[in-house]
């Protein structure tokens, strides 16, 4: 099974059989209340997030990836200040691409038990953090269970798909990074030079095989997808 759309369907099918909690978006038809920013209703219901990520690991392994647990108990994400305390983690799964996928890079699933269960996803290097879900477990930030599951699915699909990463440094603001994913999503860290959208469209051109003009001193990393359909 090398089609990510089919894999996503298989993950959803297996997840449904687990009988885990589900809940609607509590903010859908009302304003957030101030006290909700300091309360967490049923924090353990967020265990749905590591459960979903683990199912992705299983399905990716069946598609040819290699999965093993690494003995990592804390990380300092890329871009954090050097004096910031590392972030503790409870379990770390490394997922390597199927053999023969030239230019593809590994992905990591970092599980944190609490007080609110959460999962971080990184790729390339374990410190290269892409997503943290939930990023906040308070009631005010709760958008419902479906939103969390969608976020995990989309993050995994992006991290096993093709992308372009630009890196550089400006004299005034220091290091920066711009990432472009094949589904058109992009993000940046640091102060990118010049026009953000110029970098965005340059990355899109690179993905299509082009060679756009980039600012001086920019390093370009082109990462291959794990699977044939690339999505």
Residue written as token pair 């050097």: 82
- Domains of the chain, by residue range, sit at 4-24+33-159, 163-223
Q: Quick check: 77 and 85 in contact, CB under 8 A?
A: no
Tell me if 206 sits within 8 A of 222, measured CB to CB. yes
What whole-number distance in Å separates Cα of residue 201 and Cα of residue 209?
13
Query: How many C-beta atoms lie closer than 10 Å to residue 85's C-beta?
Result: 9
Q: 215 near 194, Cβ under 8 Å?
A: yes
Q: Where are the beta strands (DSSP E) in the chain?
A: 66-70, 74-75, 87-88, 91-96, 107-112, 118-123, 129-133, 163-170, 174-181, 186-189, 219-223
pTM for this one? 0.89
The pLDDT value recorded for residue 2 is 62
pLDDT in tens, the chain (231 residues): 568 889 999 999 999 999 999 988 877 666 666 666 677 788 889 999 999 999 999 999 999 999 999 999 988 887 777 777 888 899 999 999 999 888 999 999 999 997 899 999 999 999 988 999 998 877 778 788 999 999 999 999 999 999 999 999 888 878 899 999 988 999 988 888 888 999 999 999 998 889 998 988 899 999 999 986 554
């Amino acid at each position: 099974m090398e089609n990510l759309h089919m894999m996503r369907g298989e993950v959803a099918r297996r997840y449904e059989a687990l009988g885990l909690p589900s809940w609607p978006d509590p903010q859908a038809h009302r304003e957030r209340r101030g006290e909700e920013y300091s309360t967490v209703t049923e924090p353990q219901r967020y265990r749905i997030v590591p459960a979903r990520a683990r199912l992705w690991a299983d399905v990716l392994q069946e598609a040819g990836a290699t999965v093993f647990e690494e003995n990592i108990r804390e990380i300092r994400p890329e871009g954090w200040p050097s004096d910031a305390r590392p972030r503790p983690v409870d379990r770390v799964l490394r997922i390597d691409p199927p053999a023969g996928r030239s230019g593809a890079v590994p992905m990591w699933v970092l599980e944190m038990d609490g007080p609110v269960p959460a999962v971080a996803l990184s790729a390339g290097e374990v410190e290269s953090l892409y997503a943290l879900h939930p990023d906040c477990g308070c009631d005010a930030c709760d958008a419902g269970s479906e939103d969390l599951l969608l976020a995990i699915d989309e993050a995994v699909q992006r991290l096993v798909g093709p992308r372009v990463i630009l890196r550089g440094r400006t004299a005034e603001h220091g290091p920066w990074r711009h990432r472009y994913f094949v589904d058109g999503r992009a993000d940046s860290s640091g102060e990118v030079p010049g026009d953000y959208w110029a970098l965005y469209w340059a990355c899109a051109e690179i993905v299509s095989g082009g060679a756009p003009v980039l600012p001086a001193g920019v390093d370009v990393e082109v990462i291959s997808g794990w699977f044939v359909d690339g999505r």
